[in-house]
Chains A and B, each alone.
Chain A
Amino acid sequence: MNSFNFIRLLEEYANGKSQGKHIFLNPRKNVSKKVSHASLIRRSFGFSYQLSDAGINKGDICYIVSNNQETQLICFYAAIASGAIPMIGAQLPRFGAEDEVSNKIAYWKKLYGARLKVISENELKTNSIIIDNINSLPDALQPASRMNVKEDDILYLQSSSATTGSPKAISVSHKNIFTNIRQIKKGLDANDNETFVSWLPLYHDMGLVGAELFSLICDYDLILMPPYEFTRNPEIWLETIFSYKGTITAIPSFATDYVIDRIETVSDVKLDLSSLHSVCIGAEPIRMDSLEKFYNFYSRYGLKKNALVPCYGLAESTLAATFKPSRTLPKSLLVLQNSIKRGEKVELTSNDSNNAIRITSVGELVENLRCDIVHNNKVIKNDLICGEIYLRGPSITQGYMHDPGFISLLPNNTLSTGDIGFMYKEEIYILDRDKNIIIMNGVNYIASEIETFVAELLCVEKRNVIVFENQINIKEKKIIAVVEVRNNYQPGDDIKKLIEKICTSSIVNEIHFISRGFIEMTSSGKKQYFLARKKFEIGEFNIVNICSRSM
């Protein structure tokens, strides 16, 4: 891991300097396919010659369209070996997703023109290079393209999840990836012999960097199952950890609740989760009560509390920026809601009242990463002062690739994360994304906290609630809660009382009940606030009923 040359690592693996393997699972067919890292890379090198023959040139961008994880990885490494820059396309398991894929390809084609080359398993509505039988690909010990790699050369592109706008392609260099993998290894106190179990999609940075590249570069065994199978039956993830004695796994925050909701009623599960030392939990705000609920259920199966690892990261920082210190318990702080103001100190409280919210620590910075809390362009040095989180260090990527060969650089190599938080005793506490913080009468409110409050009172899923400011007329600013319900929904007297409670005990002015399916999520499951506000402004929500304080 000392040199910043990913191609050299692949060459070494192809030539036998690797012990690790992938195991690709198909739980429904009860099939597991063992593939050594060496074999995977040799076939990728073999395919890289086919890519070169098909007209892939150095610097081209290879957009990979496949639902098969082994195919995605072969295409990814083959593109690198042919001198191109790969990007794994997001494909959600949705009816009609073929149209979504076509739209995404059209979007990237508009940006990159003829430099965008699509690799897929099937004929798409666009010209693409077909990869048909991954098992019969020829082996090769050398990549098709011989390259003089520099550490800042772009290795691959990571599509952002588009929480705050159109997707952007983040350029990750050889140096970025090796640096961040070393940081992750140290942050998790991982040894040289770990087993990673993952269901995370490879188009997401948590799946690609956190599971795949971490396991490959550290030469660990990686057990991969399709994300779709986790959605169908999350129990399979835990059974796989048990079967393979997994030591590390990673999940987005929503997954703890999802797992508990789906399988809490199952009492006769045969599991042993004591092999796990790290369940990395991130990608969204982390709720301590969700962690507690998950732990309280799975502790009976040997899950250790100190194995729950809240963490924080962004694709712009390659992946990981913080981890809970290893072998410690997850921490949280109770803070007074009305003390959350940018540039001011949050007040801690021991009284778990309505005005208190619990914020979970995402841990300490990974090595060599610097964090500044910034307010009004000034760096705040003291603990507990709220501001935007800025990150600097060698894992911070160079920026976004808008055109082939052109990267919009991050100013001063500093990443303004858009996340609001504070430091306390060397650990970082994230409040929310900048754009999801609602400022009312000078007080900052966290949209996701209000969503939880509304969802719990109305007994609906939190994913069916979104809270934002109505910005049609600034003078008459209102806080709107939008709740997805069935089409013929009519709130009864009991619900009207609850709505009255919501509108009097929170900052919500109006609750709009809308048809299901209108709250849009990113490919990683984050709510698209900007899109919700826009839909609200132009009247695109199918409103079933509106309730307000004055109803």
Chain B
Amino acid sequence: MEAEIIVQLIRRVLKKNINIHMEDKIIDLGFSSMQMVQLAVSLEEHCDCEITPDVMAKISTVSDLVELIS
């Protein structure tokens, strides 16, 4: 369930319907710096948590994102 949410959020921010795998590195999905921040904001709105730059720095893969909102 969370995995599906993450995939949808990523696609919405990227505005493209790409294939996303859990082991994908977020940085390889084609985000600009601004889109990275947009994704963090979307995640915060969704899971009602704070995602600081320190938290972002430690999250590397899609799977890490799923774990974050689980």
Contacts and interface: CB of A to CB of B under 8 A. Distances in A.
Interface in A190-238: 226, 228, 231-232
B14 A94 contact: no
Given A232-B41, A488-B16, A516-B14, A96 B32 contact: no
B20 to A, nearest CB: 12
Given A95-B39, A231-B33, A484-B32, 15 more contacts: A67-B54, A91-B53, A93-B53, A94-B36, A94-B57, A95-B27, A95-B31, A96-B25, A97-B56, A231-B34, A232-B40, A487-B18, A516-B14, A516-B35, A521-B33
Contacts of B8: none
Interface in B13-57: 14-18, 25-27, 29-37, 39-41, 50, 52-54, 56-57
25 contacts: A67-B52, A67-B53, A91-B57, A92-B33, A93-B40, A93-B56, A94-B27, A94-B36, A95-B27, A95-B36, A95-B59, A95-B60, A96-B57, A98-B58, A99-B60, A228-B52, A231-B33, A232-B37, A486-B15, A487-B16, A487-B18, A488-B16, A516-B35, A517-B29, A517-B30
Contacts of A463: 32, 34
Interface of A: 28, 67, 91-99, 101, 122, 226, 228, 231-232, 463-464, 484, 486-488, 515-518, 521, 525
A28 B30 CA distance: 28
Contacts of B52: 67, 228
Contact of B27 (A93, A96, A516, A525): A96
A488 B26 CA distance: 20
Kindly list the 9 A-B residue pairs having the minimum CB-CB distance in the complex, ordered from nearest: A517-B30, A486-B16, A97-B57, A95-B26, A93-B53, A96-B60, A516-B30, A98-B57, A67-B53
Given A228-B53, A232-B41, A486-B16, A94 B33 contact: yes
A94 B28 CA distance: 12
Interface residues of B, number: 30
A179 B30 CA distance: 43
A27 to B, nearest CB: 12
Contacts of A226: 53
A517 B16 CA distance: 12
Contacts of B27: 94-96
Nearest to A97: B57
Which of A67, A518, A525 counts the most B-chain CB atoms under 10 A from its CB? A67
A451 B18 CA distance: 27
A457 B37 CA distance: 27
A75 to B, nearest CB: 16
Contacts of A228: 37, 52-53
